Structure 1
Amino acid sequence: MRYAIEHPEAVAAVVGIAGRGPQRDRTWSEAYEAGKAAEPVVDIDWVPEVHAALSDSFTDWIHQSDLWRGLAACGVPMHFIAAGDDIRPPWSLAQLAALVPRGRFSTVPGVPHDFWYTHPEVWTKTVTNACTAS
C-alpha cells in the first residue's frame, strides 16, 4: 500500500490480506491480546534486525502528516481481504477500502490470520482470484 501511494505509476493493484490498517485503537489491541493465545503457531525464523527495521519504517509512515491525503488520492486499485477467524478486528481494513478511491473489502470465512500456512489451498485460491479480478 505504501509503495502504491508513493509510486502509483509502478503498481497495477494492491492486494492486502489479513493485515491491519495504518492505525489501531485500544479496542483493536484488546481484542488481539485477548485472542492471541488461540492463534495457530507458525514457525518462522525470527530476525530481530529485520523486525526492527520493518517496525521503524511502519511507525515513520503512519506518523506522516499527509498519510490520509495520500491514501484518499491514490488511484491504484486496492483489495483488502480479512481472514474470517482472525483475532484482529477487520474494521480498519474496511475503513481503508472505503477511503481509497478504488478500494474493495472482503472476508474469507473460516480461516485464521496466517491462513497461508494453515489453509494453503484457500490462500492460493484467494490470492489468485484477487489478482485476476484487479
Structure 2
Amino acid sequence: MEDTLRKMVDLGVGLMSFSRDKITETAKQWAEERKLTPVQTRQLIQALLERGEQSRTDLQQMVQEQVKKSMERIGIRENHDALQAELVSIRELMIQLNARVEALEARLTETQEEGPTH
C-alpha cells in the first residue's frame, strides 16, 4: 500500500512539475514535426492541458482516499462529531477510573492503618 501511495505521489509531482509552458512548447515541437495546422496544434495543446489537469485531480482524489483509508486503519476518523463524542466518553471513563483508584487507595490506607489482624 505504501509503495502504491509513493508511486502515485511521484507521478503527481512529475505531472505538476510539467508546467503549462513546457507542455505548450513540447506540443508545438511535436506539431511541427507532424506538420499539424495551427488549429490542430491549439487543439493538441488544449487536450494535453486538460488531460494534465484531470490527472492532477485524479491523483489528488486517489491520495486523499488512500490517506483516509490509512487513517481509518489506524483508528483515526475523519468525522469530527464522532471524535468529539469519543473524547467525551474517554474523559468520563478517566473520571470513573480516577474515582475507583482513589477509593482503592483509601481502602488500602485504612487497611494499613489498622495493622495486621492475625
TM-score band by shorter chain is under 0.3
Task: Name the structure with the higher helix share.
Answer: 2
Give the TM-score, by structure 1 length: 0.20
Give the TM-score, by structure 2 length: 0.22
Higher relative contact order, chain-length normalized (CA < 8 Å, sep 6+)? 1
* Greater C-alpha radius of gyration: 2
